[in-house]
Amino acid sequence: MPGDAGGRHAGGPGGLNPPASVTDPPAIELRGISKSFGPVRANDEVSFSVPKGTIHGIIGENGAGKSTLMSILYGFYRADQGEILVHGRPTALPDSLSAIRAGIGMVFQHFKLVQNFTVLENVILGAEDGPLLGRSLRRARDSLTALAREYGLEVDPDALVEDLSVGHQQRVEILKALWRNADILILDEPTGVLTPPEANHLFRILKGLRDQGKTILLITHKLREIMEATDTVSVMRRGRLVGTLRTATTSPARLAELMVGRKVLLETVKAPARPGPILLSAENLTLQDEHGVERLKSVSLTLRAGEILGIAGVAGNGQSELLSILGGMTRPGEKVSGRLTLKGRDLPLSGRGADGKSRRQAGIGHVPEDRQNAGLILDFTAWENTALGYDDDPAWARGFLTDNQAIRDDTARKMQTWDIRPPIHTLAAKSFSGGNQQKLVIAREFEQDPDILLIGQPTRGVDIGAIEFIHKQIIALRDQGKAILLVSVELDEIMSLSDRIAVMFDGRIMGERDPATTSEGDIGCLMAGIAPARIPEQTPPGPTAEAP
Amino acid sequence: MQPLPKWADLVLVPLISLTLAAFVTALVILSIGESPWFALTTMVQGALMTASGWGHTLFYTTSFIFTGLAVTVGFHAGLFNIGGEGQAQLGGLGVALACLCIPWPHWTLALFGASLAAAAFGAAWIAIPAWLQAKRGSHIVITTIMFNYIAASLLMFMLVDVLRPMGAQDPSSARFPAELALPRFNQIPGLDLLFPRSVPANVTLFLALAAALVIWLLLWHSRTGYRIRALGKSEGAARYAGIGPVKTTMTALLISGALAGLMSVNNVMGDAGRLLGNSAAGAGFIGIAVALMGRNHPLGVVLAAFLFGFIFQGGSELGFMTAIPIEMRVVIQGLVILFTGALDMMVRMGLERVFARLPRRPSKAKAA
């Protein structure tokens, strides 16, 4: 539970919001912004204003036009129509430089940092004082320490960005914006890559910034974050602004309804699992990466037909490596050992027969964690992506050549059944929203009717409507008697979908829990590497059985 | 920015780039005190207004199609094969050995055999860089360019010490049997009406066009092509899909090398009738520009090869007919590469801005 949950509403305790905001012109005001891409109206007469010193949320499904709107605000796109007022002055934002000059800073969902630069170097990049860096670096160091004190944005200025955790990298992005004197901060899906504690910390930082008079625009599709962090919220649907509400006087259900345009089931409903025989069993799986670091340490698990095994854990604790072994995605330099059996037959762990194609032929489908770099080829069309991993399917062969028309027809049909929008199979995968990209992958993998399905982060960057749909499909697949291994960093998702939960920490499985009898706190402890089963920990009697 | 409409991307961008290249060329010609207009008319006259001009232009086009396709196939696998020159020279060696060592009963069979030999030698020459790339990650650009030098030396050794006929003074092989000569355009019934006098363009052009068609089918209508393109676009996705990177890399590069080697059928067997020292004559490098300009699509490669064929032939005409040195064609080639390849984004971005403004007018008019 975040400690400051009580202070989330606008004008909260002690009147932290300066009353000046009543007389000040709004920090940002949009008047009738419209933007079309060809026949698609991405933004249609969007108007709202954000008072200075508030956190304003913008929520909407993927493809609702949030990102387009923010791109207009940051000068990436030019609006076809409409006017933008910054602090009451009409401002033209033809490029991002003018946005920066107008005091607008942007924190992107995918960070724009130079990995092998230090924090300090990244902060001054593009905003150096002159050809020699010494002065800028000194100045940045001073103001970074000041900013860190003021807002709780502690980051080691000399650390290399590549060594930082994702949460810290995000702080660097915020510092970058502040160093450029931004007083309006736009954050695009900032918690997509964060763990729950990191997200809570981020919200504390944002509230601190707000209390110092900064204005914050928070774009997200997560209702909980809107409720937790914002003062006011605008809901977008299909390019239109369907309402601006005070967060304090609304509810998640109401927001969800506005977003989707109908009532949404926020809770997942599922019948109890009826587990069948063990389909997949792994014994002592260990993976050593190219540098000799053990990423996966003796992981054993079993997976039965008709059940969902959820793997909980903070990102980077071996879940990806586990999926990569099971799905046949290990890299040449990685060393894998252990034993993997599928329906009693041994599966090879490396070399021939351990690649993705062999795994698929063995009946293991895989919705990978990283859909942009593994699950899809973004430059390929939707129909070409339908053949990814199944390019030697005999149904699509015509002599030496492939029957492209058959793949196209199949894709068109999948787009219908899975409601993938827009239903244009010749469109490049990168042109689809996150949710629809995920549906492309899910349609492909689910329809191959695998016995075992590996699913990594099924709803990362996916909107509510699609989440509901994807969750239903996963449960439906389980009810058909398939075995499902679900890896997710979203604890909610793990808790609501899984029939069993295994928690990973530092490459090991810390413990297994029954979601019906466990609590988030219990799982949270395991995620942090604390084994709560041995609570009397006052004086450890000799070496404990479980490593930390 | 919105993407450009397809026709603008495919036609307008290269057209503007070419115009810019022509403009700068004109400035260069002006600066050496010659008339750009006269230069242009000379080039067009020499390359496109006479049968002999066409015969040469199409001859060069044939070579450039092969080397352009070679770069294209590599490009789709995300690999930049700039060793086309060396692979073409080795292909020439293959052609020479096939023509000199095997008593072919007819030129058609000889063409088949020599093509196989050219492709095999070209592929063999890229095999080592390809293997190093696939297995060890040694950069293909570095290794193939080094192999160009080795190829040149190897060829010189072969010509001077092995293939040179007794008593001959120049480093070249013996002449191939006359009955193996490929029909030139002036010897092909029907075409001979258009080409009354002997021209270097020969039946290999049809082989080149067929190769372009095959490569198009390979890349977009076959599993192998799918795997090559998948690997080229996303290594992660290829690993996920179980597309073996080593095998796919090798396949793509061997095809690339084979195509570069095939070029030698045109100049060694189709024209020279013997193997000469510098047989590839830079066509391997021009292939890079052809692929760039042709947007790595076989049809584009054919068109771009024709353009470079025109520049090559027109450029030599400049050397004959004007005070402009023949090296001017290198300048023109360089400028075309610069504008179509390296500065492509400059034109594209400008055009995107223009196009971004265009469609707004009708929508505004509607709103008003």
The average pLDDT across A278-302 equals 93
The average pLDDT across B258-266 equals 97
Is A402 a member of any domain? yes
Residue A193's pLDDT is what? 66
**Predicted confidence (pLDDT) per residue in B340-364, tens digit:** 877 878 888 888 888 877 755 444 3
Lowest mean pLDDT among A522-526, B111-115, B221-225: A522-526
Higher pLDDT, A269 or B73: B73
Strand order in the sheet with A40-50: A40-50, A28-37, A81-86, A89-90
- Total structural domains in chain A? 1
User: Domain extents for chain B?
Assistant: 59-310
Contact flag A357-B242 (C-beta cutoff 8 Å): yes
Domain residues for the domain of A337 are 278-527
Q: A532: how many CB neighbours lie within 10 A of its CB? A: 15
**Predicted confidence (pLDDT) per residue in A334-351, tens digit:** 999 999 999 999 999 988
Number of H helices, E strands in chain B: 16, 0
Is A460 a member of any domain? yes
Phi/psi of residue B362, each to 5°? -60, -40
Q: Rounded CA gap, A488 and A482, in Å?
A: 19
A520: burial class by Cβ within 10 Å (0-12, 13-18, 19+)? middle
**Predicted confidence (pLDDT) per residue in B80-120, tens digit:** 999 999 999 999 999 999 999 999 999 999 999 999 999 99
Contact flag B239-A375 (C-beta cutoff 8 Å): no
Contact flag B230-A402 (C-beta cutoff 8 Å): no
Terminal-to-terminal C-alpha distance of chain A: 24
CA angle A193, A198, A201 (to 5 degrees): 135
Q: Is B56 within 8 Å of B117 (Cβ atoms)?
A: no
Three-class DSSP category at A479: helix
Q: Residue A14's pLDDT band (boundaries 50, 70, 90)?
A: very low
Residue B358 Cα, gap to closest chain A Cα (Å): 11
Contact flag B234-A377 (C-beta cutoff 8 Å): yes
Q: Is A301 within 8 Å of A502 (Cβ atoms)?
A: yes
In sequence order, the 6+-apart residues with CB closer than 8 A to the CB of B11 are: none
Is A155 a member of any domain? no
> Cis (ω within 30 of 0) for the bond into A272?
no
DSSP class per residue in A58-78: EEE-TTSSHHHHHHHHTTSS-
Sequence-distant contacts of B210-218: CB under 8 A, at least 24 apart: B211/B65, B211/B66, B211/B69, B211/B259, B211/B262, B212/B65, B212/B69, B212/B298, B212/B299, B212/B301, B212/B302, B213/B298, B215/B69, B215/B72, B215/B73, B215/B259, B215/B298, B216/B297, B216/B298, B216/B299, B217/A401, B218/B73, B218/B255
Is A82 a member of any domain? no
Residues of B in contact with A377 (CB under 8 A): 230, 233-234, 237
The average pLDDT across A421-442 equals 90
- H runs (alpha helix) in B77-181: 84-101, 107-131, 140-157
Strands A184-188 and A104-107: parallel
Residue B148 Cα, gap to closest chain A Cα (Å): 30
Q: Rounded CA gap, A485 and A488, in Å?
A: 10
The average pLDDT across B275-287 equals 88
Tokens (6 digits) for A520: 């988030």
**Predicted confidence (pLDDT) per residue in B34-70, tens digit:** 899 999 999 999 999 999 999 999 999 999 999 999 9
Q: What is the mean pLDDT of chain B?
A: 91
Residue B2's pLDDT is what? 59
Residue A20's pLDDT is what? 46
Q: Rounded CA gap, B296 and B310, in Å?
A: 20
Residue B73's pLDDT is what? 98
State the best of B9, B239, B296, B352 to mutate against chain A, taking most chain A CBs within 10 Å. Answer: B239
Q: B105: how many CB neighbours lie within 10 A of its CB? A: 8
Interface size A-B, in CB pairs within 8 Å, comes to: 80
Q: Rounded CA gap, B331 and B366, in Å?
A: 50
The average pLDDT across A403-420 equals 94
Q: Is A497 within 8 Å of A477 (Cβ atoms)?
A: no
Query: Facing residues of A454 across strands?
Result: A366, A485
Q: Rounded CA gap, B129 and B137, in Å?
A: 10
Tokens (6 digits) for B123: 């592929």
Residue B77 has pLDDT above 90, yes or no: yes
- DSSP assignment letter at B105: S
B60-82: b (≥16 Cβ within 10 Å) or e: bbbbbbbbbbbbbbbbbbbbbbb
Report which listed range, A73-82, A464-473, B238-247, is most confident.
B238-247
Q: Rounded CA gap, A489 and A316, in Å?
A: 10
Is A141 a member of any domain? no
Which percentage of chain A shows pLDDT scores above 90?
46
Interface of A with B (CB under 8 A): 36-38, 77-78, 80-81, 327-329, 331, 355-360, 366, 368, 370, 373-380, 384, 387-389, 391-392, 397, 400-402, 404
CA angle A171, A172, A173 (to 5 degrees): 90
Q: Under the phi-then-psi rule, with left for phi > 0, alpha for psi from -120 to 50, and beta for the rest, what region is B188? A: beta
Contact flag A80-B360 (C-beta cutoff 8 Å): yes
Contact flag B243-A373 (C-beta cutoff 8 Å): no
DSSP class per residue in B154-218: HHHHIIIIIISPTT--SS-PPPPPGGGPPPBGGGSTTGGGT--S--S-BTHHHHHHHHHHHHHHH
Q: Is B225 within 8 Å of B218 (Cβ atoms)?
A: yes
Contact flag A377-B2 (C-beta cutoff 8 Å): no
Strands A81-86 and A28-37: antiparallel
Residue of B nearest to A354 (CA): B242
Contact flag A329-B239 (C-beta cutoff 8 Å): yes
Reported CATH class of domain B59-310: mainly alpha
Three-class DSSP category at A219: strand
Is A132 a member of any domain? no
Q: Which residue has the tokens 């079993």?
A: A302
Lowest mean pLDDT among A260-274, A295-309, A316-330, B186-200: A260-274
CATH of the domain at A481: 3.40.50.300
Which percentage of chain B shows pLDDT scores above 90?
72
Report which listed range, A69-83, A104-118, B71-85, is most confident.
B71-85
Residues in chain A: 548
Q: Residue A234's pLDDT band (boundaries 50, 70, 90)?
A: very high
- In angstroms, the Cα distances linking A518 to A493, A499, A523, B254 are 14, 12, 7, 58
Strands A308-312 and A500-505: parallel
- In angstroms, the Cα distances linking B256 to A261, A543, B66, B125, B289 are 54, 61, 9, 11, 15
- In angstroms, the Cα distances linking A100 to A53, A95, A176, B192 are 18, 9, 11, 68
A19: burial class by Cβ within 10 Å (0-12, 13-18, 19+)? exposed
Out of A36, A375, A392, the one facing B363 most closely (by C-beta) is A36
Q: Is the dihedral of CA B9, B12, B18, B20 positive or negative?
A: negative
Q: Rounded CA gap, A102 and B232, in Å?
A: 41
